[in-house]
Amino acid sequence: MKKISIFSLALLSIILLSSCGGGSSPTGSSYYDLGDGEGSGNNSGGNNSGGNNDDGADVMNISVTVSGGKYVINGVATGNLSLEKGMTYTFTNSSNSAHPFRLTQTMDGTHSGGSIYSLGVTYSGNILTFVVPSTAPATLYYYCTVHAGMGGSGSISISGASGSTY
């Protein structure tokens, strides 16, 4: 009877650890569902996954700061992002006036001959809201309209069915 109790306790521990995220990994922190439409993304290996909050909100908040002349996305300098068609992402830029955060189809945007990507994009103060359209390209980049090189090689991968109704 004692063996069954120890086994049951061990099994319960494994289930609890695997269902609650289990903490951080050597490559970065896990995505955490905050239950209110806010999330930090997945910072592992320099990638920030937009993900889905599973609470029906379909809005992901992403923090944008600046350090060492580069954008820091959810704590990762010039990190890559993975976004999903049909989802809404809000990029809150804490340094908006000095470093306007914009999206583009060309690495380094207007500094490299590209233009601002505006489909599904709206601005309100220091917040860029991006409702990813079904026609979005597979790759976008982020950049500063004032200073070249702030986005580095950071890119935005967009997934989802191109024929979706979003």
Overall domain count for the chain: 1
pLDDT at 36 over 50: no
Give the domain extent around 77.
35-159
Q: What percent of the chain has pLDDT over 90?
A: 57
The counts of H helices and E strands in the chain are 1, 11
pLDDT at 40 over 50: no
What residue type is 19 in one-letter code? S
- Residue 105: inside a domain, yes or no? yes
- Residue 118: inside a domain, yes or no? yes
Find the mean pLDDT for residues 36-49. 38
Alpha-carbon span 149 to 38, nearest angstrom: 29
Q: Indicate the average pLDDT of the chain.
A: 74
User: Which CATH number characterizes residue 75's domain?
Assistant: 2.60.40.420
- Residue 2: inside a domain, yes or no? no
What sign has the CA pseudo-torsion 138, 43, 30, 26? Answer: positive
Two structure tokens written together for 74: 């959810």
- Residue 55: inside a domain, yes or no? yes
Closest CA to 115 of 89, 147, 140: 140
- Residue 17: inside a domain, yes or no? no
- Residue 112: inside a domain, yes or no? yes
What is the pTM for the complete model shown? 0.65
pLDDT at 162: 53
Confidence of residue 159 (pLDDT cuts 50, 70, 90): very high
